[in-house]
Amino acid sequence: MNLIVDAGNTYVKVAVFQGDKMLSHESFKKEVFQKKIKKSLETFPEIDQIITSSVTKLSDDTQQFLENLAIKVRKLTHETNVPFENKYATPETLGVDRIALVVAAVTQYPKTNVLVIDAGTCITYDFKTSDETYLGGAISPGIQLRYKTLNLLTANLPLLEPKMPENYIGNSTENAIHSGVTLGVITEIDGVIERYKGQFAHLTVILTGGDTNFLAKRLKNTIFANSKFLLEGLNNILEYNRYND
């Protein structure tokens, strides 16, 4: 049984898997990390390995806590054994979250051209070919980041919560911001998908991340929406390395 730990800048997501079946998952603030991990281990005593993925450095206390656990803990890095060929020019700079997403694509959609779009703080695009080669992708600002940037880097524009405008022609400053941000993101994503479709046949597109539900039904292209794709990818890495160390 596997315990998956995905640590972000503010929140930590954890999940417990039995094979490829997710038994539980939750999200919490980093301040209660140790308490929550202990609870997971008590609730599921069959857990025999853990994987940690962090976009930021874990605190020394947290690192020491993990090292003291009587369970194998694997930290995901660019050197972790993965089931794809990495053609990224600077693999040491490739985010561990993107590595996990590619592993999920390879494991769940083998021998298929797959574009994974992770819509969170940033929108990342990651592409793997049908011969399981990772070529790279793109990074752009996410929805919340675009709203915040308009507010922080201008004198008079307000900070708004994401909202789909009724009309793409904004008839007020607030509506104009909503139109620019939300329709801009949707147009960007559809445009990127179309460009990949033009070059790679039989393309499968996966949409994941915190803004999955907001975007899924508004894209004109056919996609598979899966907000748990990253957690599944981390579990796939553990399962792959269980037999390939």
List the catalytic residues: 97
Residue 153 token pair = 């880097």
60 annotated ligand-binding residue: no
Is 196 known as a binding-site position?
no
Q: Where are the beta strands (DSSP E) in 65-195?
A: 72-75, 85-86, 113-119, 122-128, 133-141
Annotated ligand binding at 20? The verdict is no
The answer to the question of whether 126 is labelled as a binding residue is no
Of 103, 127, 124, 114, nearest in space to 55 by CA: 124
Is 95 among the annotated ligand-binding positions?
A: yes
CB 99 within 8 A of CB 116: no
Measured CA to CA in angstroms, residue 135 lies from 25, 89, 194 at distances of 31, 9, 17
Distance, in Å, from the CA atom of 101 to the CA atom of 107, rounded to the nearest integer, reads 10
Tokens found for residue 196 = 């990949």
Residue 232 CB-density burial (10 A; 0-12 exposed, 13-18 middle, 19+ buried):
buried
Q: Which SS3 state, helix, strand or coil, does residue 163 take?
A: coil
Element (H, E) at 112: none
Q: Is 7 annotated as a binding residue?
A: yes
| 118 is an annotated ligand-binding site residue | yes
Q: Flag whether 12 is marked binding.
A: yes
The answer to the question of whether 9 is labelled as a binding residue is yes
- Confirm or deny that 97 is annotated as ligand binding: yes
- Which residues sit in the known binding site? 6-13, 88, 95-98, 118, 121, 173
- Which residues sit in the known binding site for ATP? 6-13, 121
- Which residues sit in the known binding site for K(+)? 118
- Which residues sit in the known binding site for substrate? 88, 95-98, 173
